[in-house]
Amino acid sequence: MTVIRSDTPGQPLAWPQLILVTAGAYVAFIVVKTAYSYWKKVHTPLRRLPGPKGGHFFFGHMRQLLDSDTLAAMHGWAAEHGDTYVIRGIAGAYQLVTTDTRALTHILFASNIFHKSEGRRKQLEALLGKGLLFSEGERHRDQRRIMNPAFGHAQVRDMTETFLATAAQLCELWNDRCNDAGGTARVDIFDWLSKATLDIIGKTGFDYEFNALNDNGTRNELAQAFDFVLRQKLSRWAQASILINEYVPTLAMFLPNPLSRNMANGRAMMDRICTKIVQAKKQEILAELGGHVEKKSVGGKDLLSLLMRANLAADVEPSQRLTDLEVLDQIPTFIMAGHETTRQVILHATQTTWALHKLSLYPEVQRKLRAELLDIGTDMPSLDELNSLPYLDHVARESLRLNGAVGYLGREVFEDDAIPLGAPMVDARGNTISQIKVQKGDGVLIPIRLVNHSKAIWGPDADEFRPERWEHIPSGASSIPGIAPNLMTFIGGPRSCIGHRFATAEFKALLFQIIRRFEVHPAIDEAELSGRSGLVIRPQLRKDNSTQLPILITPVA
């Protein structure tokens, strides 16, 4: 046994000295661990692949993905280096980027090997708790198994009336604006669609009234908490802190986090309100059904009711049930996924925003779509009726392809693997290879928008908005590993977007009501607009970096 001694023979170390020795040993351990991790990351087999040179000495090429148009950056690298290449991440780590659909299929379906990094999961836990977006492995499968019934076709069909009614309410407010303006009004569709989709996810998600469209300048308390957590303006240091937390968590331990306190305060507020919602919903279900719950039991049709009914069902193994905390953490997940992603499909802000923007630029497409929508003899069609409209479906798919709200997803390799390629490639040393070797700790970026814009798949006009392409889908698109056929937008595999039916139905309902009632025209020049990268790709005006997307609306005569 080793005895720690002081400089004076026979005398043990005093407590201050012992603390200093222990702290020094701990710091030395962290330094050695970080140095070894760095050495492993820069001596990966990925270093043999082609890729862009340069980049920031510490942040590599990651700043380019955040500071500029993500798609433009990845397009430029792919044009120079091919479908598969590497970029440098934080502290020199290599990040694999590929549009090879066989490789992507392997990455997405081998979820035991490729999943979120621990740093990324900690960030998601701070934002959303231990919900579906946080969980991995067996616990993710349990949560998904319980939640799947709430997102089925029949359940989304029942929610369509709420989608349409909220969209109609939005149109009435826009009509008032047009009347006040004498015919044509300028509106920020990103802001308005944000309010509409927040109201929709509140009602359909957990039977909660946000009243965002009728806020009269006063935000609902839960909406305020949500904004506090997820809508903070990020300074340069805040963005850097997020990257360091995700990719070098040991280093992040010693750095101040400018977001942690705000997130903690916002999360505490959200948890307090959501706990009341969950407790009330659970008591309501048990009282209604006398303590015996079946998955097929009737009752509330919001997502939370359906989720809790499935979770409390007698045929669910106790070990597979979600804890009350996990149920609670699904609420901010519902808000984040249902509110953020769908909102910009219409115009270029999170999905509904970007689509409207495109329609404002293509008046012939807009007129053709409006003619089809006006042929429906009702303002409140069923989901089956919406899905029977071919041109609406083509416009929706083309908008989802071109303007998906998420540019790319990050994964970490958790065990050594060999990723098969659909087509051989030449590495940086001139060797032809048919698989890519990766080692534990390597990073992978799944380039969602790059795949959706691939000229190899979609042809030379891949960057153009042309809904008619969906009448004759290119054969190569069938290899895209997405849960929505021929699209990478909702990804595929065990971690594909569980709410893809919800998002598509909501998107179609919003377009149905808006395009039937309004002509939309550009309010700004296309050159004034950019897509700001981040958790989602939002519209931003170049002149002042404000998040908005103004368009002109005129009621249909």
Check residue 480 and give its pLDDT.
Answer: 97
Check residue 343 and give its pLDDT.
Answer: 40
Check residue 179 and give its pLDDT.
Answer: 97
**Domain of 37, in residue numbers:** 15-43
Cα of first residue to Cα of last residue in the chain, in angstroms, is 91
Provide the whole-model pTM.
0.86
The rounded average pLDDT for each run of 10 residues, N- to C-terminus, in the chain (557 residues) is 49 71 77 68 90 86 75 89 93 92 97 89 82 89 89 94 97 97 96 90 89 77 72 58 65 60 74 88 81 56 86 82 86 68 42 89 98 95 98 97 87 96 95 97 94 95 97 95 95 92 94 98 88 67 85 95
Length of the chain: 557
531 lies in some domain:
yes
**197 & 298 share domain:** yes
- Residue 253 neighbours by CB distance under 10 Å: 10
Residue 497 known to bind ligand: yes
73 lies in some domain:
no
- Residue 60 neighbours by CB distance under 10 Å: 23
**177 & 303 share domain:** yes
List the beta bridge partners of residue 88.
Answer: 94
**146 & 257 share domain:** yes
267 lies in some domain:
yes
Check residue 17 and give its pLDDT.
Answer: 75
Q: Phi/psi class of residue 490: alpha, beta or left (left: φ > 0; alpha: ψ in -120 to 50)?
A: alpha
Nearest to 439 by CA among 43, 44, 38: 44
Report in angstroms the alpha-carbon separations of 74 from 96, 99, 215, 318, 448: 12, 11, 40, 46, 11
Q: Distance from CA of residue 474 to its chain's centroid?
A: 27
Task: Answer for the pair 436, 49: CB distance below 8 angstroms, yes or no.
Answer: yes
Tell me how many domains the chain contains. 2
**395 & 508 share domain:** yes
61 lies in some domain:
no
What are the helix (H) ranges across 129-152? 137-147
Q: What is the dihedral of CA 319, 325, 331, 332, to 10 degrees?
A: -120
Check residue 233 and give its pLDDT.
Answer: 56
Nearest to 518 by CA among 104, 184, 130: 184
Amino acid at 122: K
What CA–CA distance (Å, rounded) separates 453 from 531? 15
**138 & 31 share domain:** no
Task: Answer for the pair 241, 252: CB distance below 8 angstroms, yes or no.
Answer: yes
List the beta bridge partners of residue 16.
Answer: none
List the beta bridge partners of residue 112.
Answer: none
Specify the residue for token string 């360091």.
Answer: 244
What CA–CA distance (Å, rounded) separates 108 from 111? 6
Task: Answer for the pair 445, 410: CB distance below 8 angstroms, yes or no.
Answer: yes
Task: Answer for the pair 192, 352: CB distance below 8 angstroms, yes or no.
Answer: no
118 lies in some domain:
no
* Token digits of residue 380: 């409140």
Pairing of strands 518-522, 529-532: unpaired
What CA–CA distance (Å, rounded) separates 247 from 37? 11
What CA–CA distance (Å, rounded) separates 401 from 388? 20
Nearest-10 crossing angle of helices 303-312, 324-335: 160
The CATH number covering residue 338 comes to: 1.10.630.10
231 lies in some domain:
yes
* Token digits of residue 239: 């963005």
Pick the last residue of a domain from 26, 43, 60: 43
440 lies in some domain:
no
**363 & 256 share domain:** yes
Check residue 310 and give its pLDDT.
Answer: 85
Report in angstroms the alpha-carbon separations of 551 from 111, 169, 517: 41, 19, 15
Task: Answer for the pair 533, 407: CB distance below 8 angstroms, yes or no.
Answer: yes
341 lies in some domain:
yes
Check residue 554 and give its pLDDT.
Answer: 98
Pick the last residue of a domain from 23, 43, 63: 43
Check residue 11 and give its pLDDT.
Answer: 60
**240 & 133 share domain:** yes
Check residue 551 and give its pLDDT.
Answer: 96
Which residues lie below 8 Å from residue 175, measured CB to CB, with a gap of 6+?
A: 517, 555
**162 & 38 share domain:** no
